[in-house]
Amino acid sequence: MAGNQRDGFSSKLGIIVATAGSALGLGNIYRFPCEAGANGGGAFLIVYLGIALLIGTPLMISEFVIGRRARSNPLGAFRRIEGRSRSPWSAVGYLGVVCAFLILAFYTTVAGWTLGYLGKAAAGHFSGQGLEQIQQQFADFTGHAWLPLVCQMAFLALTALVVVRGVKDGIERYSKILMPMLLAIMLVLCIKSLTLSGAAEGLRFFFWPDFSKINGQVLLSALGQSFFSLSIGMGALITYGSYIGRSDNMVSSAVSVTLADTLVAVLAGIIIFPAAFTFGIQPEAGASLAFTTLPMVFQQMAGGYAFCLLFFVLLVIATLTSTISLLEVIAATLTEELRMSRARAVVVGTLGTAVIGMVATLSLRPDSPLRLGGSTAFDLLDHLTALYLMPIGGLLIVLFVGWRMGRADVMDELSNGGTLPLGLRRGIVLVVRYLAPVAIAIIFVSQLVG
């Protein structure tokens, strides 16, 4: 089989850091605080934790099951498991690949910002700047005629350079080195953020839930964030699952990824919200939370210039672990379905992403004509993927694993051919068959009718 010739992860640690790396960049440091700030702080956190553990982890395991069973990209995985060249379930694979493509397109907009801000940090642009000045820098940068585009294209090129090297020598190698470094820097920033004058108020907002704020929108936003953070429904986990060895414990790996993801999300909130309340930034301020709050935190630190520079270096690299997982979905699909060389598949995927990505970036300019009903192309892509495509994809995946795949095949993957105990794994199957699809459907429908 072609799967015997495929690249793969060399260890369980490689699986964990690479899969976690798909989320531990902007998915948590940028997007999670934005979503929590806009959806009630502590109320959102409680809902998010519940969904991530009870629904997100079984969904991640489901995608791993599909990927490892088929040893194929998302498009070919469903056909292989079905055992026929034409299957209606192949539409789920198409959905995942399209979702990965669209997410990568608008995600590289923000990724480009991190590269631009690395340049600003290196040049000392934040030194001696007040909050209003830093906020104006953010507005000037995102509204610039060409600089965000240059940064976005440069980031896409960096992503392509990693992906073209393959799984073991590219994705896994970089993830093993850089993700622990990012975590160490986040811990340092957390400690400093907790010493700020607004720390108590910020922590109260983030950890003290106001349950009256929980509604359909909060539930759907938490579901979308858990999918985004855990890389669910976008083809990345099926692709990464196809690289997992037959002897690796995918269940424990998925649990480890969820715990790491949750830890980084909480750390990001601890960094952001005390600083936001200290400097008078609204919690629902969106992207500016990460790009105006953090520079202000650095201004309060001894050796702040060095920490600011190091943080943005690591944020750029951490973001790479997210973008490479998305580009890998496209590259693996083009390589296996159209028989392209990896190099050509990476080039084609990168150029296609660049076209849509430029539209997303240009739509953020104040005078941009690329808006629809007051919404930017960036916002439309974000909402389309996080609130619709990923939940729909996740629902179809659990229905496929829970009801379409043979139960014996699923248990064979979960137990590594019967070598691992089945106790907990039987519970996972029950969640995938009943709880996950019902919960996703209820939350999704409540948003539509609301």
List the chain residues with pLDDT less than 70: 1-16, 18-27, 168-170, 174, 283-290, 301, 373, 447-450
From the list 104, 106, 95, the residue with the least C-alpha distance to 390 is 95
3-state class of 419 per DSSP?
Answer: coil
Residue by residue, DSSP assigns 12-72 as HHHHHHHHHHTTTTHIIIIIHHHHHHHTTTHHHHHHHHHHIIIIIHHHHHHHHHHHHHHTS
CA atoms within 13 Å, Cβ hemisphere of 126: 29
- What are the backbone angles phi and psi of residue 375, rounded to the nearest 5°? -100, 145
Characterise 127 by phi-psi region: left (phi > 0), alpha (psi -120 to 50), beta (else): beta
Answer yes or no: are the C-beta atoms of 261 and 52 closer than 8 Å: yes
Domain that holds residue 335: 2-449
The total of other beta-carbon atoms located within 10 Å of residue 276's CB is 30
| Cα separation of the two ends of the chain | 48
Tally of residues, the chain: 450
CATH number, domain containing residue 151: 1.20.1740.10
DSSP 296-353: HHHHTSTTHHHHHHHHHHHHHHHHHHHHHHHHHHHHHHHHHHS---HHHHHHHHHHHH
Instruction: Read off the tokens for 9.
Output: 């992860």
- DSSP state letters, 102-163: HHHHHHHHHHHHHHHHHHHHHTTTTTT--HHHHHHHHHHHHT-SSHHHHHHHHHHHHHHHHH
Give the pLDDT confidence score for residue 283 in this predicted structure. 65
Residue where the block lists tokens 């907009």: 109
Counted domains in the chain: 1
**Tokens coding 299:** 């201004």
pLDDT of residue 220: 80
Joined tokens for residue 308? 């600011």
In the Cβ-directed half-sphere of 333, how many Cα atoms lie within 13 Å? 25
| pTM for the structure as a whole | 0.84
Query: Reduced to 3 states, what is the DSSP secondary structure of residue 189?
Result: helix
Q: Is 362 helix (H, G, I), strand (E, B) or coil?
A: helix
